[in-house]
Amino acid sequence: MTTTTMTSGTASTSAVPAAPHLREDLLTPRFYTTEIAKAARTDLELQRPAFEAMLAEMEADYNREHFDRKAPLDRLRSLSTEEKEAYESYLVRSCVSEFSGFLLFKELSRRLFQAQRPEMGRLFQLMARDEARHAGFLNRALVAEGIEIDLPTLSTKRPITWFPLSWVLYSVFLSEKIGYWRYILIDRHLKAHPDNNFAPLFDFFEPWCQDENRHGDIFNMLIRCWPALRSGFRGKLLSRFFLWSVFLTHSLTVCERGDFYRILGMDPARFDAEVMRQTNRTARRVFPWVFDLENSHYIDLRDRLVACFQQLQAAREGGADRCANGG
Say whether 288 sits in a helix, a strand or coil.
coil
**Ordered DSSP codes for 228-282:** GGGSHHHHHHHHHHHHHHHHHHHHHHHHHTHHHHHHTT--HHHHHHHHHHHHHHH
Q: What is the pLDDT of residue 327?
A: 52
Q: What is the pLDDT at residue 71?
A: 87
CB 2 within 8 A of CB 182: yes
Q: Quote the pTM value.
A: 0.88
Torsion of CA 198, 204, 205, 207, to 10 degrees: 160
- Rounded to an integer, what distance in angstroms lies between the CA atom of residue 124 and that of residue 108? 7
CA–CA gap between residue 211 and residue 209 (Å, rounded) = 5
Angle, helices 165-192/268-283, rounded to nearest 10 degrees? 130
Q: Which domains does the chain have, with CATH numbers?
A: 9-296 (1.10.620.20)
| Per-residue pLDDT tens listing for the chain (327 residues) | 544 443 344 443 344 344 666 665 555 778 999 999 999 999 999 999 999 999 999 999 999 888 888 888 999 999 999 999 999 999 999 999 999 999 999 999 999 999 999 999 999 999 999 999 999 999 999 999 999 888 888 888 878 899 999 999 999 999 999 999 999 999 999 999 999 999 999 999 999 999 999 999 999 999 999 999 999 999 999 999 999 999 999 999 999 899 999 999 999 999 999 999 999 999 999 999 999 988 878 888 888 988 998 888 788 777 655 555 555
* Backbone region of residue 289 per phi and psi (left: phi > 0; alpha: psi in -120 to 50; beta: other values): beta
Whole-angstrom distance, CA of residue 97 vs CA of residue 104: 11
Rounded to the nearest angstrom, the gap between the alpha carbon of residue 269 and the centroid of all alpha carbons in its chain is 19
